[in-house]
Structure 1
Amino acid sequence: MGAIRRNTQLLWSEVVLAAGFWDRLQGLLGKSALHEEQGLLLMPCASVHTWGMRFPLDIVFLDREQMVLACREGVKPYGLKSCRGAWATLEVAAGSIARLGIAEGQRLEWISIGTKSAAA
């Protein structure tokens, strides 16, 4: 478990890191929703699908330095999104990108709060 911040601003306080193959494969499947403090950070990951999802997501693609390469808002179930050059993908509740002012070129930082890596 961890958190994502921008400079000193805490953006998401309940972010699960999915770094293993099975964790990335499971992703958010089976979940009914994400609340505004939750997220899933998939790495390495340059593309995601929302097949089988029950709710829309905002998706943030990051490079190896955690710089935002692209933002995709309100991605509906049964979609596919990718970003050339992405190293990690952050999945958060729909509306989060606009609410927090996330934009290309910003640097986000993953902060580990524990050692467990598993799907949210």
Structure 2
Amino acid sequence: MATLLLPTGRTLPLEIAESAGARRRGLLGRDGVTGALLLTPASSVHTVRMRFAVDVAYLDRRLRVLSVRTMRPWRIGRPRLRARHVLEAEAGAMDRWGVRRGVRVEVRSGGLDGPGSLEDSGGK
């Protein structure tokens, strides 16, 4: 488990899905998520067989938000140019957290050395 540092200074629990299997599984089979899930590397997501709507933030290699959208279940998102990571949370969370286009988030702990360590490891 890692920590997501938001632009507001607030921290949240963060799961990181780095393996192909973990990225494929994502939030499938769950009824919700505490905090957020980071899929890395990733440039698109789908919500086929999901039980709830999610907010999706597409991040570049420096963890800057390229775009945010809400996806209802049974949707397929288009790949985003320049996206290297995808952050998922329950619908409405990104707005409450201040996560919007242009802001930068940080990932801490959970085997990572600190802010920016995802960009320094070539997207892992």
Partner of residue 15, structure 1: 14
Determine if contact 1:63/1:88 at 8 Å carries over to the other structure.
yes
Determine if contact 1:33/1:55 at 8 Å carries over to the other structure.
yes
Rounded to whole Å, the distance in 2 between the matches of 1:29 and 1:20 is 15
Aligned residues: 111
Partner of residue 3, structure 1: 3
Q: Deviations over 1:49-96 (max 9, x none)?
A: 0000000000011000000001012x1001122311100000011101
Higher relative contact order (CA 8 A, sep 6+): 1
**What's the TM-score, normalizing by structure 1?**
0.85
Determine if contact 2:8/2:98 at 8 Å carries over to the other structure.
no
RMSD between aligned residues: 1.6
Shift, 1:34, TM fit: 2.0
Aligned structure 1 segments of 4 or more residues deviating by more than 3 angstroms: none
Determine if contact 2:37/2:89 at 8 Å carries over to the other structure.
yes
Where in structure 1 are there 5+ consecutive unaligned residues?
Answer: 116-120
Percent identity, aligned pairs only, is: 35
Partner of residue 118, structure 1: none
SS in 2 for 1:30: coil
User: 1:80 aligned to 2:79?
Assistant: no
Determine if contact 2:48/2:73 at 8 Å carries over to the other structure.
yes
Taking the TM superposition and a 5 Å limit, the aligned residue runs for 1:23-102 are: 23-35=22-34, 38-73=35-70, 75-81=71-77, 82-102=79-99
